[in-house]
Amino acid sequence: MSNNYKVTISRTDLYSKKYENVSIESNDITRNMVIKKSLLEVLINMISK
């Protein structure tokens, strides 16, 4: 079984790098909360640099 992830990032302000509506969807429901926490932190850290 493969896990498929869909990451959606809505950019609200291109220049000040403010983001909202960052969502991560997985077909593995039991992992969703962990994924949202860890991947969100990684994504936001990457984007903010």
Query: What is the pTM (predicted TM-score) of this model?
Result: 0.26
pLDDT of 6-48, one tens digit each? 666 665 555 555 555 555 555 555 555 555 566 677 777 777 7
Q: What is the DSSP letter of 31?
A: G
Domain of residue 43 covers 5-48
**In total, how many domains does the chain have?**
1
Neighbouring C-beta atoms of residue 25, cutoff 10 Å: 13
- Look at the chain and count its residues: 49
Alpha-carbon span 36 to 42, nearest angstrom: 10
Q: Is 14 helix (H, G, I), strand (E, B) or coil?
A: coil
Side chain identity at residue 7, one-letter code: V
